[in-house]
Amino acid sequence: MEFLVAMSIFVVVITIVLSLFSASIKSYRRVIAMQIVQENARFLTEFMTKEIRMSIFNSSTLTTLFLTRSDGQSVSYVFSGNKLERTSPSSSGPINSEEVSINGRFYVEGIGTGDGRQPKVTIIIRAESTGGKVEEKAKIDVQTTLSQRKIDL
């Protein structure tokens, strides 16, 4: 009888310990996924922001932004197929990690309007981790608005 009580208590304690261990592993995986998503979103916004500020807006659609850099090189950013692709005469391809799915939009105001206002672009990005279990995935939405440095009055 004592042996059965001891075994029952042992099984309950082991079940609790294993449940805590499993929960901590899931939490760790979620934190790592969130870190990867945040790093990618931060990299993309900083990379685009530096180039956009030093460029002139040519035109845009909701998923494409066309720029002319200060050195005269044409560059485009395109949200396509869960990636953000950068295309220029010297290189092209996705700039996000394959571990992260990227979707977004560009909203541009003031291109060629002649209204005396500086053109600006709002970039909205949704970054989401790929792979892993559903409860361990991470998602983040990022938005930034910026204008070109060259005064276009």
Q: What is the pTM of this model?
A: 0.79
- Which burial class, exposed, middle or buried, applies to 39 when counting CB atoms under 10 A from its CB (0-12, 13-18, 19+)? middle
- Rounded Cα distance between 50 and 59, Å, is 18
For residue 135, is pLDDT > 90?
Answer: no
pLDDT digits (tens, 9 = 90+) for 63-79: 999 999 988 899 999 99
Of the pLDDT bands very low, low, confident and very high (cuts 50, 70, 90), residue 152 is low
pLDDT, mean over the chain: 89
